Structure 1
């Protein structure tokens, strides 16, 4: 049986403050896409047969071991007008730390049909109408959130609830892979 999964950056410390933002927007515009989704920064999403699950987990564990924890700061609101997404953006320093990890994970899973995110951001709402984007941008003007990025998280999509739920976390091991050095015989 096929199931859908996502790999994300996630921090329990951000779940409640971001939920308050989402609830505030929901009180103004009613239900919207992502209003019930827990705070996260998407890396990728894919659908696989259950038989591939253990292999995926092993790859995530191996790759996570090579990453070193770092702080992430989210300091502004922005939107993708074309998709109706309203989000919290990361600082340039945070982006410079997140993007290489995202690319490495995309590369590791290039054999899957991935929905990739190349632009680290934390969605407040998706598929918002232009009117609702305007309401969100007027409602939220200043933000300053931080978390320690020390793991990547695997989430499974529950088709009944239409939400992703955390099923596993892969801690950063601070063990960069050694570079291959061509040795000499003499």
Structure 2
């Protein structure tokens, strides 16, 4: 009898509203029309918090931790209005504006702390990827595409995504809303 549990790759992400996901898809379509195929072309807009490998029981731990975090988490409107193209990192990403950056940095830091185990890999600073593994010529072509971009959304959802081997993509398997509820003393004891 095989008692070994299957372990899969997962990621925890801040997940924008569907309208913003669609706006990013349009940006990616425009990139693809100009520069051709690239990595992250089909990935839906998100802000990576962590990635991890887990079996069903370990995944249940992460789900409980995310529920605990989201119970009292405050929502806030955020704006991504800077497009950064880097030949060094070979990436095109959207960055938050100066007023959104502190909220997002704090959110990612606290959520990573809540989820930290020996199995987790932290994402980087808050950004929404447009393309990865871009060549220098693709970046040169992309530089002329946009004079100004701006995405605005209420940051109120975290999602768990599972890597689907056959598609080579992560897909959302569960979402969690920020409930903005204060903990009372009894709840602190239950959640800790």
TM-score by length of 2: 0.87
Asked if structure 2 preserves the Cα contact closer than 8 Å seen for 1:77 and 1:137, the reply is: no
Residue in 2 that maps onto 1:36? 42
CA distance in 2, matches of 1:126, 1:118: 14
Residue in 2 that maps onto 1:138? 144
> Shift in Å at residue 83 of structure 1?
2.1
CA distance in 1, matches of 2:34, 2:93: 17
- Indicate whether 1:10 and 2:15 are aligned: yes
Runs ≥4 residues deviating over 6 A: none
Q: Does the C-alpha gap of structure 1 residues 177 and 98 become closer, same or farther in structure 2, counting only changes over 3 Å? A: farther
> Shift in Å at residue 98 of structure 1?
0.9
- Indicate whether 1:76 and 2:82 are aligned: yes
> Shift in Å at residue 140 of structure 1?
2.0
Residue in 2 that maps onto 1:54? 60
Asked if structure 2 preserves the Cα contact closer than 8 Å seen for 1:77 and 1:141, the reply is: no
- More divergent stretch after superposition (137-146 vs 67-76): 137-146
Q: Which runs of 5+ in 2 are unaligned?
A: 1-5, 186-192
CA distance in 2, matches of 1:176, 1:100: 18
Give the aligned CA root-mean-square deviation in angstroms. Answer: 1.6
- For these two proteins, the number of residue pairs brought into alignment is 179
CA distance in 1, matches of 2:125, 2:43: 19
Q: Which runs of 5+ in 1 are unaligned?
A: 180-186
CA distance in 1, matches of 2:47, 2:90: 17
